[in-house]
Structure 1
Amino acid sequence: MSNLPFGFGLPDPDKRRENDPGGSGDQPGSGADAFQQLGQMLSQLGQMLSQAGSSTGPVNYDLAKQIALQRLGSESKMGFVGDRSSEDAVRDSAHLAELWLDEATILPAGASTTVAWSSRDWVDKTLPTWQRLCDPVAKQVSSAWMQALPEEAKQAAGPLLSMVEQMGGMAFGSQLGNALAELASEVLTSTDVGLPLGPPATSALLPANIEKFTEGLERPSSEVLVFLAAREAAYQRLFAHVPWLRQRLLATVEEFAHGITVDTSALEQLAGQVDPSNPASIEQMMSSGLLEPKTTPEQQAALGRLETLLALVEGWVDVVVADAVGERLPGADALRETLRRRRATGGPAEQTFATLVGLELRPRRMRAASALWKLVGDQHGMDARDKVWSHPDLLPTSEDLDDPMGFAERAGHGEEAGDLDPIAELERTERAEEQARSEESEDGEPGEDTGKDR
């Protein structure tokens, strides 16, 4: 794990020098000066806490949103997204893409709304999903630190522990806000990182970011917009009509986060080597990797499942979009390869996500998955290819990506893939979920302890 998740960012020594330009912090001062400095510090702390919003929990999401929007302030005034013609162009491109996709997949349109987002819109609309992804990480890290404190230290701290937790939430929120601002200035669509971050049934493109992305591609901007609209629409079809997919992707990220552990024994080593009067020693220990979370076997297994599922999703989108637009857009092949490399090599967006959640969200085997989906489609048609999504047990495994020919043969001759109807499966799944909710409501109201004797 090359990136440190929440709470493991390093202090900025330049800021410390700015706050103490003359090095006066190292010089002994009078008692009056010390009390004055303490009063100023407490006043600043109180002001900071009051301005951070009312968000509670392991991450201060109010502060995260404030920071992200502040950093994006100048970008939001570009006027590109707010321009009416840009909104029309997004809708027209999405409409054309949907018509082409109808001929390339049996899954119907999944988006009921197509919108043009600014970077600020992206932050606002995706924050609920980020909260679901980031909470497990922050909770694990926070609880590890609290459990590592000796009991006598906890008793001595008393009420200060709640302030420490609040400051920890602010630290996490600050890190998240800066990361979201960086992502928001780079993403092209709501599904650009491979996860369904936006509201369901909403296809969203960011024209201002797409305009920057188009520079240097030597392709007309209208062509790039249609190609990206087709990719976004393909994702939405998959997420809308494969009801278990959204939940499984997000749950696998959560499963990875829940496995984060911190070697608390390192705190004892840290305590013996740090000089509280010398901030440089703290910075040195933090940068040594001593407190870096350890990757467990359970996390490695979850990561493997996530990478395979991401590869299958992006490989399917890659093949379907190529089938839909390949002969209609002159630069489709070049755009396809550009986006493949963009996702495979990673960039600031992927690195930022790795910092946020502690893993690299990169479909390392996307090309293998794309080859598999194409092989199944070429041999058995798009019906057999798309019906594989009818049930999670039918999906290719990591081993199948090593042997696409073997999987293609099973997909063609097995009754499971040939006979399943994805729409019928969707209806059956919805009926089962409705029945489960009905039984739950009969057993007891939500939140009621149904295990008690009545």
Structure 2
Amino acid sequence: MPDTPFGFALPGGQPPDPNDPQQMQQFLAGLQQLMAMSSSGGGPVNWDLARQVATTSLNSEGDPAVTAADRAAVDEALRLADLWLDPATALPSGVVTTAAWNRNEWIFNTLDVWRKLADPVADRMVNAMGDLVPPEARAQLGPMAAMISSLGGALFGGQFGTALAKLAVEVLSAGDIGLPLGPSGTAALVPANIRAYGDGLDIDAGELRLFVALRETAHQRLFGHVPWLRGHVLSAVEAYANGIRVDREAIEEALGRVNPADPESMAELQLEGIFTPDDSPQQQAALRRLETVLALVEGWVTHVVEQSAGSRLPNVVRLSETFRRRRAAGGPAEQTFAALVGLELRPRRLREAAALWAALTEHRGVSGRDALWEHPDLLPDDEDFADPAAYAAAADTTVLDLSALDDLPSHDEGNPENGPKQD
């Protein structure tokens, strides 16, 4: 553990002596260099830095341009996919516009939602960094003591930017990871990533693109026409994030490797392990809510896509299983969140959720199945996944009385305590 009054040291690893004006001046000069990279925009994370780091990383590794042919193929696939979905769901089209993004455009268009997801945890890390400054050091630093905390915004921003760059190389569409990341109504594919993913599948490129387009347009219908769902999913993530604990010793150890005279030393930091989930009943309940809603979203998308493409795409069974394994294993977002904020966006019961929606279609029909999205308290809970057929049969005899739900709290107001009925 570094023995420094600020959590990090002068060049050469030596702590500054608070009683030595020359050392303090040297330390503060280096600190000011770091503050130039520190948080901006009033939030706990320097998202400008995150975007800059991500862009630099992508540009060094390569970001294939989207050609006119790419745009035409993506537009055609999304429009056709949207038409195929019509008989499979009672929800109308959610596609307002189509887009073909390169990797940098994916980051640009999803960064606002990433901010909402990461800021709660990052805020606690930044506050914990401020607490590392002893009272006697705060007195000597004066107003600059607050800058110690803002250093956390730069640290987290740089790390998150690196993670986003890795993620941008893997995602296939705006809704690929089951979260409403992109602008509402914009169905978007990432052609370069779809081509790279298809290289190992031995499936026609057009068929793969259309399958991804079906998944994307299904996500757009669900999030576009279930008004409470976007806020409910994001608040479920926030509720879980609010239970994440910050390991102050891990922060202090990480900061001990920062040289204030060398801002590049921040790029070498690894923040993994700083955040750990709490084992409290409240945290476990939040995790169940999150896993359940992710599974229900992904299961519904899987089911309606299979229904839409069953007689049209020759490899639909193979593609469905490939994507199911990809998502059940955690998908491209799991490493990003697990490493940075201790949060896994994994629909662990995806197969059961898809079977549940299929059973509901059999018993209630398409309209009856999709009517369950009218309110979160109508949805199945995690216990219902155990026997989809029994749940669907019971639901078949239940008359949905939405008026009885009018007085329940709204789930799209961003209250993390609101959740499905299982808790």
TM-score (norm 1): 0.76
Deviation of 1:151 after TM superposition, in Å, equals 4.0
In the alignment, what sits opposite 2:46? 60
**From 398, 402, 407, the counterpart of 2:382:** 398
SS at match of 2:99: strand
Q: Which amino acid aligns with 1:71?
A: S
Q: Compare the two structures and name the one with the higher helix fraction.
A: 1
**From 299, 302, 305, the counterpart of 2:283:** 299
User: How far apart, in 2, do the equivalents of 1:152 and 1:188 lie?
Assistant: 52
Deviation of 1:257 after TM superposition, in Å, equals 1.4
Write the deviation string for residues 366-416 of structure 1: whole angstroms up to 9, x where unpaired: 100001110111233111111111111110001111121232022211111
Deviation of 1:355 after TM superposition, in Å, equals 2.3
Q: How does 1:124-203 map to 2 (within 5 A)?
A: 124-147=108-131, 151-203=135-187
List runs of 5+ in structure 2 lacking aligned partners. 1-7, 15-20, 260-269, 414-423
Distance 1:289 1:323, change over 3 A: closer
User: How far apart, in 2, do the equivalents of 1:230 and 1:374 lie?
Assistant: 17
Asked whether the equivalents of residues 52 and 62 of structure 1 are also in contact (C-alpha less than 8 Å), the reply is: no
Asked whether the equivalents of residues 182 and 349 of structure 1 are also in contact (C-alpha less than 8 Å), the reply is: no
In the alignment, what sits opposite 1:115? 99
Write the deviation string for residues 132-162 of structure 1: whole angstroms up to 9, x where unpaired: 1111001122224434655445434432322
SS at match of 2:394: helix
User: How far apart, in 2, do the equivalents of 1:75 and 1:207 lie?
Assistant: 17
SS at match of 2:187: strand
User: How far apart, in 2, do the equivalents of 1:201 and 1:402 lie?
Assistant: 34
Mean CA deviation greater in 403-412 or 292-301: 292-301
Write the deviation string for residues 222-279 of structure 1: whole angstroms up to 9, x where unpaired: 0000000000000110001111110000011111112223466x69xx99x99x89x9
Deviation of 1:346 after TM superposition, in Å, equals 2.7
SS at match of 2:36: helix
Larger Rg: 1
**From 96, 101, 120, the counterpart of 2:80:** 96
SS at match of 2:87: coil
Q: Which amino acid aligns with 1:169?
A: G
Q: Which amino acid aligns with 2:98?
A: T
SS at match of 1:175: helix
The size of the alignment, in residue pairs, is 384
Q: Which amino acid aligns with 1:324?
A: S
In the alignment, what sits opposite 2:346? 362
User: How far apart, in 1, do the equivalents of 2:206 and 2:271 lie?
Assistant: 47
User: How far apart, in 2, do the equivalents of 1:44 and 1:312 lie?
Assistant: 50
1:239 paired to 2:223: yes
Write the deviation string for residues 7-52 of structure 1: whole angstroms up to 9, x where unpaired: xxxx9xxxx9xxx9xxxx489xxxxxx979985x766654453356
SS at match of 1:73: helix
SS at match of 2:59: coil
Write the deviation string for residues 261-301 of structure 1: whole angstroms up to 9, x where unpaired: 3466x69xx99x99x89x9xxxxxx9996985644332221
In the alignment, what sits opposite 1:31? none
User: How far apart, in 2, do the equivalents of 1:100 and 1:303 lie?
Assistant: 34
Distance 1:137 1:341, change over 3 A: same
Identity fraction in percent = 48
User: How far apart, in 1, do the equivalents of 2:246 and 2:34 lie?
Assistant: 29
User: How far apart, in 2, do the equivalents of 1:293 and 1:161 lie?
Assistant: 29
In the alignment, what sits opposite 2:397? 413
User: How far apart, in 1, do the equivalents of 2:293 and 2:327 lie?
Assistant: 15
In the alignment, what sits opposite 1:73? 59
Q: Which amino acid aligns with 1:229?
A: A
User: How far apart, in 2, do the equivalents of 1:163 and 1:144 lie?
Assistant: 13
Q: How does 1:298-317 map to 2 (within 5 A)?
A: 298-317=282-301
SS at match of 1:72: helix
**Over aligned residues, Cα RMSD in angstroms?**
3.5
User: How far apart, in 2, do the equivalents of 1:180 and 1:323 lie?
Assistant: 33
Mean CA deviation greater in 182-191 or 290-299: 290-299
Q: How does 1:247-266 map to 2 (within 5 A)?
A: 247-262=231-246
1:224 paired to 2:208: yes
Deviation of 1:353 after TM superposition, in Å, equals 2.0
Q: How does 1:15-54 map to 2 (within 5 A)?
A: 25=12, 39=26, 45-50=31-36, 54=40
Asked whether the equivalents of residues 260 and 296 of structure 1 are also in contact (C-alpha less than 8 Å), the reply is: no
TM-score (norm 2): 0.81
SS at match of 1:186: coil
User: How far apart, in 2, do the equivalents of 1:26 and 1:146 lie?
Assistant: 20
SS at match of 2:193: helix
In the alignment, what sits opposite 2:372? 388
